[in-house]
Chains A and B, each alone.
Chain A
Amino acid sequence: MIEVDGLRKQYGDLVAVDGVGFSAGEGKIFGLLGPNGAGKSTTISCMSGLLTPTDGRVRIMGHDIVHEPRAAKQQLGVVPQELALYEDLSARDNLTYWAAAYGLSGTGLRDRVDSVLEYVGLLDRASDPPKAYSGGMKRRLNFACGVVHEPKVLLLDEPTAGVDPQSRARLLDLVRAQAAKGTSVLYTTHYMEEAQELCDSLAIIDHGKLIAMGTLAELRAMVGERDLVRVVGHFDPERIRPALAELPDSEVLTADQDSVMLAVKGAALQLPAVLQALAAAGGHLRETTFTEPSLETLFMKLTGRELRE
């Protein structure tokens, strides 16, 4: 069980996390989707007791992370965004150390390390140090280090960053398997496909604030039925807005000198009319894309920016 309430973290004047609140029950995966610098890692650092929140509270299995750090941390597994491994020690030594940090010992520890190694598919490479691993294998070991003590709550900070598709699919399976065992998972990412695939419910974070939250279906409904059309070129915003306003079932989201973005119902059929209207209003067109409704379009609709900008 994860409960976050009114979480706020300030660095001087910069508010990195601003009033974030959500919860995730047993066996649930909660996704936190946001672009670079949105405040995802800061949220996780506050939740794991690494940073002291400026305000708000975090409870892990009912234990307040600030007031009962030992009890909360005991239930918590963290998979950090940056690899956190001893590159020169074997995978087994790495896991053994982290298991010991959570109080495991003896045969219990050894059995657990072996089963985690098997679980992440590294048993045959267990004696090799991570410096001899591929990027994907390192990510898997990084994940294994976070779950070796069988935490009740798992915080994952972009665990698939820079990983090949095969390893990524493997990692997502591992996350699902954790949730299936009853672990509450917080999964941050800036890949909307991952969030869509994995999460029971999710929130979109931008500039430290949650700008949308709900189940995937609820968020999809917020986008509506309309596709997102984006045209790049050279435009006169003053003339374009009235010209586009005459098109049926469409809404201009943003319009500036070098790009225009609008939501259009049935864009595949409407596209010629849109382009014509733009040309008639004196625009020079260079590139056009349209996307079906998704979290990405929701993010664009809410912020006027692309998720990966």
Chain B
Amino acid sequence: MRFLIASVVKDLKWRLADPMALALWVGIPLIIGTLVGLATGGGGGSGTLKAKLLVVDQDETLAAQLLMGAFSQGQLAEMFDVEEVDLASGEIRMDNGDASAMLVIPADLATAVLSEEPAVLRLVTNPAQRILPGIVEQVLEVLVEGTFYLQRLFGEQLRMMTEELPQGESMPGDAAVADIATQINRAMSGLEGTLFPPVILLETVVDRPETEAFNFALLFFPGMMFMSLIFVAQGLSEDLWNERKQGTLRRVAVSPAPLAVFLGGKVLTAAVLMAGASLVGMLLAVVLIDVELSRLPLAVAWSTLGGLSMLCMFMLLQLLATSQRGGGLLVSVVMFPLLMIGGSFFPSEAMPGWMAMIGGWTPNGLTVEQLKMVMAFDYQWGELGRSAAALAVGAAALVSLVWWRLRTFAVQ
């Protein structure tokens, strides 16, 4: 135990002797994050982050057009790419993970709205994505309520509008729809206090946790912040080579202190540094993107666990190589693709379905997805616990292999 503490103190001092490296680990992701932010948000070219919303319009009237129009204007237009499909092909594409969500508008929607009869909107969401489907759902909920109140308040005008349509045209032009949808949005805030029960029900097929006030930066931030922990893991994994090169690993090996404790010291040191790095990141998130302070401890603990699993993986890779350069290279070769599919460069919501799916199975992808939930949404303890167990078991298995390999590594 004393040697464990001594090892942690030693490793921390060793790290603090090189504050530049520490600053880079935390700084590089912030720089990359800023660049990514500028490239996607600042210039308005948000091509990479668009949710595909499939709409099956079995109604083909103004009401459906209104719904679809709502997703095609203003801020929402930058996020959603609405495409009309038929039910069969829509279902196939959802199965392939090609879209964030599919909305099925029933044939009787317009009639139902106008005659105040119940109707069901069906929303199928993509389980591989978390946030964009959530937004779709949230927007729809508002629209459903809005449509209902609209009908209550402007029912006469609406009826007139549909009746005034020229013969052979079942719906008004795009401009008119957009205009009406804009009015819906504006009207909505004023309607909140009204107490009519809604007639139209929204049914979501895959249960999604409710999304709260959405912040665009939340898509990027967790991946970006976790990137700095991955850099910490990468840097610390190299310590095994440094220890060997400078002969100190041999010194440990000839001392009665167990190598396992020495290794445990490395992992604990990493935990301290990672918790520190993620604390910095989370404080930034609290200040800059309004993440709730109360979510901070869990977010720090969670990202530290994820970071440690990365460390264990990187340490093993280092020990599999035959030289320090080889080890560094091997870690990089594994790390960059992982950063890519694990949502550090761009969020899983902006990935093709298959990629987001694979990414979710990587330790960093798993960490980042849950981190998003922990930072801003209604995370579920069960799911979080299962993910934590998976990471912990994986890390334990890897670190055992590291320990086993370290004994021969020390004397080579």
Contacts and interface: CB of A to CB of B under 8 A. Distances in A.
A85 interface: yes
A84 B251 contact: yes
Interface residues of B, number: 22
B17 A129 contact: yes
A48 B254 contact: yes
Contacts, number: 73
A280 interface: no
Contacts of B189: none
Interface stretch (B2-10, B202-210, B373-381): B2-10
Contacts of B253: 49-50
A105 B247 contact: no
Given A80-B251, A82-B247, A103-B256, A97 B18 contact: no
Q: How large is the interface on A (under 10, 10 to 19, 20 to 34, 35 or more residues)?
A: 20 to 34
Contacts of B246: 83-87
B255 A50 contact: no
Interface of A: 45, 48-51, 69-70, 73-74, 76, 78, 80, 82-89, 93, 96-98, 100-103, 105, 129, 145
Interface of B: 2-3, 6-7, 10, 13-14, 17-18, 246-248, 250-257, 410-411
Chain B binding site: helix, strand, loop or mixed by DSSP?
Answer: helix
B257 A101 contact: yes
A49 B250 CA distance: 10
16 contacts: A45-B411, A50-B411, A51-B411, A73-B254, A73-B255, A74-B256, A84-B247, A85-B247, A86-B246, A89-B13, A100-B2, A100-B6, A101-B3, A101-B6, A101-B251, A103-B256
A50 B250 contact: yes
Instruction: From B2, B248, B410, name the one whose CB has the most chain A CB atoms within 10 angstroms.
Output: B248
Contact of A84 (B3, B7, B10, B248): B248
Contacts of B7: 97
A98 B3 CA distance: 9
Given A73-B256, A100-B3, A103-B256, A86 B10 contact: yes
A5 B299 CA distance: 59
B6 A84 contact: no
B256 A80 contact: no
A82 B248 CA distance: 10
A80 B255 contact: no
B17 A145 contact: no
Contacts of A145: 251
A261 B20 CA distance: 60
B10 A93 contact: yes
A86 B411 contact: no
B218 to A, nearest CB: 39
Contact of B255 (A82, A87, A101): A101
